[in-house]
Structure 1
Amino acid sequence: MKTTMMMLASAALVAGLAGGAVAQDKKVLAVVVKGLDNPFFTVMGQGCADWNEANPDSEYECLYTGPALSSDEAGEIQIVQDLINRGVAGIAISPSNAPAMANMLRSANPSMPIMTVDADLLPDDSDLRSTYFGTNNYDMGVGMANELMKLKSEGGTVCLQLGNVAAANINERAAGFRDTIAGAEGTDRLSDTNGWTEIEGCPVFTNDDIPTANQQMADVLTANPDLTAFVLVGGWAQFGPQAYSQNTDQVMDKLKSKDLVILAGDTLPPQTQAFREGRSHFQIGQRPYQMGNEAPDILISLINGETVEDPKFTGLDLCTLEDAGICAE
């Protein structure tokens, strides 16, 4: 299985290089994502492609790549290793497994600038990259918690749906959520904490797989008919709109009455549609296009020896029942 994953990862890299994305005389600025199967990263890839369109005379060209499957942590690491060995000009990485990616980078000791985008390395490994560019993920979790406490001020039971167990960005969101509910930093789990309790069997981890996310959601809602809140810390289940609609159809009466509330990360088109249909009560969106579109400029600044802010945060977009914001579009 591991060999198969590595082959898929290498194929993804070769496809990116052979698909006309990078001219032979251009220096490569690579944007490496967790998986090409995730629509969030597709938007980031569009930002990278549009950078190329806007800079046709640049000596650099943006290459968007990653493993075919988001679950392929080893494949992502292999792609970055291959890019380092090729001597590309700079690399922006969204690490799926932060410790494993850091171990490879420390061993490889790359000569080109390395930055993280969307997801960071762990704080102890921050010396391995020049800057992080993307969401303030802790604040994203804070935003989810604040909205949940507004929607259900009396508290209740909650299930968090997370992604990869070693993804730093997702774990930061969970920390921001729990700390805000508890009113104290370092809260590992909610147990009648200011009225909120995480149910047995949660959090659940999707491993960034969309069908898994929807199956988990169905299982949790079926086994816990009195659940107060289901929190998609990332948008995985909603990235499969048909399955997500089927899941929420089963509890639509509870959603309408707010006996059950659903909060979710990200604001991609299928998600804003779900919000407008009453299939969630809150969406907090990141800015993946900006991440992919501006990462090449940051890498060029690093190549030129310029000082770059660290971290460099993009903003958040809120879709609430009181003010739909961008979700009204």
Structure 2
Amino acid sequence: MKKVALLVAVAALSLGAAPAFAQTKKQLVIVVKGLDNPFFEAINQGCQKWNSENADSEYECFYTGPASTSDEAGEAQILQDMLSNPNTAALAVSPSNAPLIANTIKSSAPTIPVMTLDADLSKADAGLRRTYLGTDNYVMGRKIGEYIKAAKPDGGTICTIEGNAAADNILQRAQGMRDALTGQDGLAALAGEGGWTEVAGCPVFTNDDGAKGVQAMSDILAANPDLDAFGIMGGWPMFGAPQPYRDLIGPLADRIASNDFAIGAADTIGDQVALAKEGLVTALVGQRPFEMGYLAPSVMIDLIEGKPVADPVFTGLDECTKDTVDTCIQK
């Protein structure tokens, strides 16, 4: 019997089958808000780049998330499943709904390192994660506001386009923009401060849906034909629905060129840089999602090994205008 078993094992190896004692790699899990968003696909590309460069590692970067960015409950369930998976060595999550994700972490009581990526938990819940890796979202929002203010120094009427009402990163950007526009800190809405007023119905929350974002902008312009500016806290209307965005904003190109109308927007994903080159946005302030996905596995390994890790770990910003589009993205 021993001889037969040995012959079977040798035959299996000769056919390329994995031996019974092969070990599955430990997973460094990245859970994002939704797989339908090009921003998160860039994070995945960084994750896979790390895998290709670390093929001999005992770890692998594993990227997952719900099918849609609007599925907050789905993200929470995936997070819970990954935290209970014995093969998960560490985990990075981009919270769509920060309170919900915080409660999921609390209920799971993980013994493995957990960090946030791209979006953070609230300050009150920050102790649930080891570090945050991604954009300084408040600074990003301030830069968006600075570009709008430079175009319209005397102020005007503005509408803020946001994503998920409970996403901490988006809320920080909106706050940074308002602070930059007004020179005041912490205003929840603008009612003439610094010359700026947010029109009725704004901010608009679009759940990261590009088509909804463009429709919201169209509705706001129809109701406010003298609107002076949009502050777009994520690139969804542009990279998610580029042609509808062109159709809507194209007639405003001359006003944008003369600084009679201003659009400051987050991200430099997909068609966004092309739209900037076409003069259909005043300025883009872009994140570096590929870098987030590429750095996250190494940060998670440092956390596993008990090495010191800074909190937060910022990945920087790119700034693009019509005049700088050829050189504005960090390579």
User: Per-residue CA shift, 1:233-263, capped at 9, x if unaligned?
Assistant: 1101001212111111243343333322111
- Name 2:193's counterpart in structure 1: 193
1:178-217 equivalences under 5 Å are: 178-217=178-217
User: Does residue 106 of structure 2 align to residue 106 of structure 1?
Assistant: yes
Q: How far did residue 202 of structure 1 move? A: 0.5
Q: How far did residue 184 of structure 1 move? A: 2.1
8 Å CA contact 1:36–1:66 kept in 2: the answer is yes
Rounded Cα–Cα distance in structure 2 between residues aligned with 1:120 and 1:261: 29
Farther off after superposition, 78-87 or 317-326? 317-326
TM-score (norm. length: structure 2): 0.89
Rounded Cα–Cα distance in structure 2 between residues aligned with 1:267 and 1:252: 19
8 Å CA contact 2:118–2:169 kept in 1: the answer is yes
- Name 1:225's counterpart in structure 2: 225
Matched-pair identity in %: 50
Rounded Cα–Cα distance in structure 1 between residues aligned with 2:115 and 2:67: 22
1:1-329 equivalences under 5 Å are: 25-87=24-86, 88-239=88-239, 240-321=241-322, 323-324=324-325, 325-326=327-328
User: Per-residue CA shift, 1:38-90, capped at 9, x if unaligned?
Assistant: 11111011000111001000000001111000000000000010001112101
Q: Secondary structure at the match of 1:180?
A: helix
Rounded Cα–Cα distance in structure 1 between residues aligned with 2:312 and 2:142: 18
Q: Which of the pair has more CA radius of gyration?
A: 2
Number of matched residues? 307
8 Å CA contact 2:277–2:323 kept in 1: the answer is no
In structure 1, what residue type is equivalent to 2:301?
I
Q: Secondary structure at the match of 2:328?
A: helix
In structure 2, what residue type is equivalent to 1:58?
S
Q: How far did residue 321 of structure 1 move? A: 4.6
User: Any stretches of 5+ residues in structure 2 without a counterpart?
Assistant: 1-21
Rounded Cα–Cα distance in structure 1 between residues aligned with 2:178 and 2:271: 27
Rounded Cα–Cα distance in structure 1 between residues aligned with 2:48 and 2:135: 21
8 Å CA contact 2:30–2:61 kept in 1: the answer is yes
Q: CA 1:328–1:218 in 2, change beyond 3 Å: closer, same or farther?
A: farther
Q: Secondary structure at the match of 1:95?
A: coil
TM-score (norm. length: structure 1): 0.90
User: Per-residue CA shift, 1:94-118, capped at 9, x if unaligned?
Assistant: 0000001001111110111100000
- Name 1:15's counterpart in structure 2: none
In structure 2, what residue type is equivalent to 1:181?
L
8 Å CA contact 1:32–1:94 kept in 2: the answer is yes
Rounded Cα–Cα distance in structure 1 between residues aligned with 2:234 and 2:279: 18
Rounded Cα–Cα distance in structure 1 between residues aligned with 2:324 and 2:152: 17
User: Any stretches of 5+ residues in structure 1 without a counterpart?
Assistant: 1-22
Cα RMSD between the aligned structures?
1.6
Q: Secondary structure at the match of 1:263?
A: strand
Q: Secondary structure at the match of 2:157?
A: strand
In structure 2, what residue type is equivalent to 1:203?
P
8 Å CA contact 2:182–2:195 kept in 1: the answer is no
8 Å CA contact 1:276–1:328 kept in 2: the answer is no
Rounded Cα–Cα distance in structure 2 between residues aligned with 1:151 and 1:308: 40
